[in-house]
């Protein structure tokens, strides 16, 4: 018995010694290894966020059901029938047939009021002899063109109906954010209303490269027939009118573009109230900055609109904006390039006041500017004309007229050969005296397309001459 107790005691002591040795040596080595590993993880040359994000968190997935339901019944199919003159065949001559043909184009439109006002693209209805609308519940209406604007590619239609129509409310496109989810709703390939989803990829895009446009870019799928359809946010509010795609095939390849809703809304409101678009002019010329251009100019910023010149008597001129200033903001809208400036001004009218934040000699100034009406007009054959001042008229002993601001490059040699140059005064168009560019515009609008143009112009020597153009 004594031997057994001794054996058990020795076994227990051996176990204690073995366990102590393991704790002392092996765990110490592992701890050192773990410490070394942790130290390596803390050393980083790049900013790192190790937060685990659940890709399957249902609260992060946008729900477009309500937005689609609010929009799909307010988007319509637009059918444009145009009568075109085709080539006359021998059979047409022999049988006395008319060579005119009906050409049909289609697109989309968005109902924006319960009484039947519809917004679409100008290119969808351009040249139409007849416009018909098909609603999402297959009702067909004849539509009347109220007005259109080629520059923004926006047109306003109206249908007459006794029932109250579903419509989409305008959202604030200035508040739309890059990365925000949007829906494109339209009638691609003559299908009924179709919904696609994507995000806003960019804002203030100019597709022409001539600073004429300021589009919202999205990756929501848009195809032929979607033009004039709705781009809405997750609330179902209209943030754009789908207008164009970037494609070498004519079908969607990942990029689509929409007229911002703030521009579209302003255009249709102008058409409804004034009959045409009222443009507020700031009165500056210049270009966008980058690091190379800023270095050449000696400017301490690489973003903004650099003012090269200021139009005389414009809002900018009267407010004291100078050549060399850099425009950084219009109201609360950041200006990084000209399309930002163009896009925001396209939402404004003459006599609106815009607070211009500008950089001058490294100092920031905020200048209130009252926008003016457009003081220039492109006159066919001649070039750019503007309202003449008293001193301009006195200089050439003219009683009335508009001043030639710049000559059309195509016809410049002809005009200069006949003594007509910048500063000459156009006194009449088709025997009607003109005193302003508004009267010039009216004279051109009332001229038949087949009528010749007749100009009376006082040349640089003060002599009045007449020119006919067929």
- Environment class of 165 (CB within 10 Å of its CB; exposed 0-12, middle 13-18, buried 19+): buried
Can 227 be counted among the known catalytic residues? yes
- Environment class of 46 (CB within 10 Å of its CB; exposed 0-12, middle 13-18, buried 19+): exposed
Query: Of 108, 135, 227, 424, which is the active-site residue?
Result: 227
Torsion of CA 56, 59, 62, 68, to 10 degrees: 120
Query: Of 73, 77, 108, 123, which is the active-site residue?
Result: 123
Write out the DSSP string of 130-182.
EEEEE-TTS-EEEEEEEEEETTTTEEEEEE--SSPPP---B--GGG--TT-EE
Strand pairing partners for 287? 306
- Environment class of 92 (CB within 10 Å of its CB; exposed 0-12, middle 13-18, buried 19+): middle
Tokens of 336: 């990084």
Can 408 be counted among the known catalytic residues? no
Cβ 384 vs Cβ 402: under 8 Å: no
Cβ 302 vs Cβ 326: under 8 Å: no
Can 212 be counted among the known catalytic residues? no
Query: What count of other Cβ atoms lies within 10 Å of the Cβ of residue 195?
Result: 20
CA–CA distance from 438 to each of 220, 329, 373, 418 (Å)?
42, 31, 11, 26
- For residue 404, the SS3 value is strand
Query: Of 108, 148, 153, 346, which is the active-site residue?
Result: 153
Tokens of 460: 């640089």
Report CA Rg, the chain: 34
Cβ 461 vs Cβ 425: under 8 Å: no
β-pairing, 181-186 vs 194-205, is antiparallel
Residues 6+ apart with CB under 8 A from 69: 236
In whole angstroms, give the CA distance from residue 300 to residue 321: 18
Tokens of 278: 């009222």
In total, the chain counts a number of residues equal to 470
**For residue 383, which of 417, 426, 435, 340 has the smallest C-alpha distance?**
426
Task: Identify the H or E element spanning 27.
Answer: helix 27-42
In whole angstroms, give the CA distance from residue 93 to residue 112: 48
CA–CA distance from 389 to each of 379, 394, 402, 403, 423 (Å)?
18, 9, 9, 8, 11
Known catalytic residues?
123, 153, 227
């Amino acid at each position: 018995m004594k031997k057994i107790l001794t054996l058990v005691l020795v076994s227990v002591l051996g176990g204690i010694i073995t366990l102590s040795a393991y704790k002392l040596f092996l765990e110490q080595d592992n701890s050192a290894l773990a410490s070394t590993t942790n130290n390596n993880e803390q050393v980083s040359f790049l900013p790192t966020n190790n937060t685990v994000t659940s890709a399957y968190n249902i609260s992060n997935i946008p729900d477009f059901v309500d937005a689609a339901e609010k929009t799909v019944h307010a988007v319509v199919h637009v059918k444009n029938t145009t009568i075109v003159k085709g080539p006359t065949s021998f059979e047409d001559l022999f049988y006395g047939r008319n060579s005119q043909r009906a050409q049909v184009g289609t697109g989309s439109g968005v109902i924006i009021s319960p009484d039947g006002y519809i917004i679409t693209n100008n290119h969808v209805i351009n040249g139409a002899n007849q416009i018909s609308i098909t609603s999402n519940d297959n009702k067909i209406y004849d539509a009347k063109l109220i007005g259109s604007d080629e520059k923004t590619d926006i047109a306003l239609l109206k249908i007459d109906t006794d029932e109250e129509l579903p419509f989409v409310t305008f959202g604030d496109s200035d508040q739309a954010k890059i990365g925000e989810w949007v829906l494109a709703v339209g009638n691609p390939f003559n299908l009924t209303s179709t919904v696609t989803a994507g995000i806003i990829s960019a804002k203030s895009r100019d597709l022409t490269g001539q600073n004429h446009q300021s589009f919202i870019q999205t990756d929501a799928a848009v195809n032929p027939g979607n033009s004039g359809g709705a781009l809405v946010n997750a609330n179902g509010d209209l943030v754009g009118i789908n207008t164009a795609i970037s494609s070498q095939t004519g079908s969607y390849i990942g990029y689509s573009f929409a007229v911002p809703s703030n521009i579209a809304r302003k255009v249709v409101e102008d058409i409804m109230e004034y009959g045409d678009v009222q443009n507020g002019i700031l009165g500056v010329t210049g270009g966008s900055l980058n690091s190379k251009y800023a270095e050449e100019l000696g400017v301490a910023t690489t973003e903004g609109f650099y003012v090269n010149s200021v139009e005389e008597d414009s809002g900018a001129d009267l407010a004291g904006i100078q050549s060399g200033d850099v425009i950084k903001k219009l109201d609360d809208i950041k200006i990084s390039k000209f399309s930002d400036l163009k896009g925001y001004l396209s939402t404004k009218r003459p006599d609106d006041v815009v607070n211009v934040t500008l950089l001058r000699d490294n100092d920031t100034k905020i200048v209130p500017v009252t926008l003016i009406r457009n003081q220039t007009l492109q006159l066919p054959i001649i070039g750019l004309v503007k309202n003449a001042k008293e001193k301009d008229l006195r200089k050439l002993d003219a009683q009335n007229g508009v001043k030639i601001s710049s000559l059309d490059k195509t016809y410049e040699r002809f005009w200069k050969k006949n003594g007509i140059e910048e500063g000459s005064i156009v006194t009449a168009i088709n025997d009607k005296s003109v005193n302003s560019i508004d009267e010039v515009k009216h004279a051109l609008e009332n001229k038949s397309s087949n009528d010749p143009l007749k100009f009376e112009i006082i040349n640089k020597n003060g002599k009045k001459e007449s020119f006919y153009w067929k």
